[in-house]
Amino acid sequence: MQEKEIGTVTHYYGHLSVGIIELQDTLKVGDTVHIKGHTDDFTEAVESMEIEHASVTEAKAGDVIGIKVTQKVHPHNKVYKVIA
Does the pLDDT value for residue 69 go beyond 90? yes
DSSP 8-state class, residue 75: T
Based on DSSP, count helices (H) and strands (E) in the chain, helices before strands: 0, 10
Q: What is the pTM of this model?
A: 0.95
- CATH number of residue 25's parent domain: 2.40.30.10
**The domain containing residue 48 runs over which residues?**
2-83
Q: For residue 35, give every residue at least 6 positions away whose Cβ sits within 8 Å of its Cβ, in sequence order, or none.
A: 9, 19, 41, 42, 43, 44, 69, 71, 73, 77, 78, 79, 80
Sign of dihedral through CA atoms 10, 14, 15, 21? positive
Average pLDDT on 20-43 reads 98
Q: Give how many domains the chain has, as a whole number.
A: 1
